[in-house]
Structure 1
């Protein structure tokens, strides 16, 4: 098996990223791969923001994973900068191959390189397998998350 390359996403990766976002029970209810217009606009905004890093994992020319890392400067914790991991996805063809671990290890190293004091993420309560995965990587379930739907 060829090694995985993790690289910054490009605009041409957007359809593949959206396909991965939609490829599970939860994502299928909220993503719309048939209309890439809002995703392209979001990609442009992400690409323009130096505190955003959208990456893809590629193997043999195929996209097999993605995540977004957001750097959040803050005043709490004595001015600590946080890294927030969002939208972690592994293509169904690559699940169980260790790729999720590789992506998360990449995010940990990138957060360290950007002098972040903490790396955090949220995960839907229904994703119990993902919760076990993050716990096995050394994450702790230290907070209860809340969301307020605006649109």
Structure 2
């Protein structure tokens, strides 16, 4: 399993996988409701901007030359904390046909390698509270629950 940094040519694949991940997360909260009725409506500009932006990187997950998912990483720091430099997993998606085969766990291991190489001292990730499978996956890959995010509409 390899992580290959995404390029402009990979934007259609990133959109496909992001849309699958986003629609999977819609049922967990009304705040996850998408404005797009299909992946064809998702603008490429968001991913194009990420490709040009420092501090955020999209990688395609490849197994024997086949793309099976993607991961989005963002770096950051909390300069006043003992654990100050982190790499955050913003998105992690593995296609259904490849889930429960250890690929996600291997992605987390590769992300740890990238974090070490970038001189980070910890990883971060968040997921929907009611997504029991995601919470179990992250717990099983060594993450600890740390905080709860609250959200409120301003309508």
Task: Please say whether Structure 1 and Structure 2 have the same fold, judged by a TM-score greater than 0.5.
Answer: yes
The aligned counterpart of 2:30 is: none
The aligned counterpart of 1:98 is: 102
Q: Secondary structure at the match of 1:76?
A: coil
Question: Which structure 1 segments of 5+ residues have no match?
Answer: none
The aligned counterpart of 1:10 is: 7
Q: Aligned partners of 2:144 and 2:97: how far apart in 1?
A: 28
Q: Secondary structure at the match of 1:109?
A: helix
Q: Aligned partners of 2:18 and 2:61: how far apart in 1?
A: 14
The aligned counterpart of 2:19 is: 22
Q: Alignment length, in residue pairs?
A: 146
**Which stretch of structure 1 is more off in the superposition, 87-96 or 13-22?**
13-22
Contact preservation (8 Å) 2:69, 2:93: yes
**Does the alignment pair 1:44 with 2:48?**
yes
Q: Show structure 1 runs of 4+ deviating over 6 A.
A: none
Contact preservation (8 Å) 1:5, 1:57: yes
| Match of residue 39, structure 2, among 33, 37, 42 | 33
* Structure 1 pair 149–63 and aligned structure 2 pair: CA distance change class (3 A): farther
Could you say what the CA RMSD is over the residues aligned between the two structures, in angstroms?
2.4
Contact preservation (8 Å) 2:83, 2:122: no
**Does the alignment pair 1:86 with 2:93?**
no
Give TM-score, length-normalised by structure 2: 0.81
Shift of 1:113: 1.0
Contact preservation (8 Å) 1:56, 1:66: yes
Question: Which structure 2 segments of 5+ residues have no match?
Answer: 28-32
Higher relative CO (CA 8 A, sep ≥ 6), structure 1 or 2? 2
